[in-house]
């Protein structure tokens, strides 16, 4: 069983047009994400199993935040693949940031195959109560 489905190949071509560094055979995987808001920050969690920590990049440009990662799985030629469901390739997903995100304070952690981004809100825009004197 292979994962060289038509739609996957087309996705890879589009990725090539975007970024010449990608190999022609690279498969682009859009990682599943949870996004939520707390009073002080936004939290973004992305399922990126098998992505080496060193291979993950979080880039900001204008309003957009782009997450990339590569799954450098043990591609051993000595082994024979009997059954294959796990997609191997490049993780790529883009998000648009709101103006209230403090870009200087974004934190990223990668644990158990999950990338967590904490996007704190700007102090000046946080809701606050004003005491009546």
Say whether 91 sits in a helix, a strand or coil: strand
**57 lines the binding site for other proteins (CB under 8 A):** no
Report the candidate in 86, 46, 54 with the shortest Cα–Cα distance to residue 70: 54
Neighbour count for residue 47 (Cβ, 10 Å): 15
**109 lines the binding site for other proteins (CB under 8 A):** no
Selected from 23, 57, 59, 86, the binder of other proteins by CB under 8 A is 86
User: Is the CB of residue 102 less than 8 Å from the CB of residue 118?
Assistant: no
Selected from 23, 30, 60, 103, the binder of other proteins by CB under 8 A is 30
- d(Cα 119, Cα 9) in Å, to the nearest integer? 33
**35 lines the binding site for other proteins (CB under 8 A):** yes
Say whether 127 sits in a helix, a strand or coil: coil
**43 lines the binding site for other proteins (CB under 8 A):** yes
Residues in contact with other proteins by CB under 8 A are 2-5, 7-8, 10-11, 14-15, 17-18, 28, 30, 32-39, 42-45, 47-53, 73, 76, 78-87, 92-101, 110, 112-114, 119
């Amino acid at each position: 069983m292979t994962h060289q489905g038509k739609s996957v190949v087309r996705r890879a071509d589009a990725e090539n047009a975007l970024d010449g560094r990608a190999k022609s055979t690279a498969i682009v995987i859009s990682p599943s994400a949870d996004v939520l808001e707390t009073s002080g920050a936004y939290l973004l969690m992305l399922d990126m199993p098998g992505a080496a920590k060193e291979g993950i990049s979080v880039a900001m440009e204008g309003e957009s935040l782009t997450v990339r990662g590569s799954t450098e799985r043990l591609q051993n030629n000595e082994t024979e693949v009997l059954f294959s469901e796990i997609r191997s390739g490049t993780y790529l997903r883009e998000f648009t940031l709101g103006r209230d995100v403090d870009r200087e304070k974004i934190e990223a952690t990668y644990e158990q195959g999950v990338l967590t981004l904490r996007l704190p809100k700007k102090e000046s825009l946080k809701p606050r109560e004003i005491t009546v004197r």
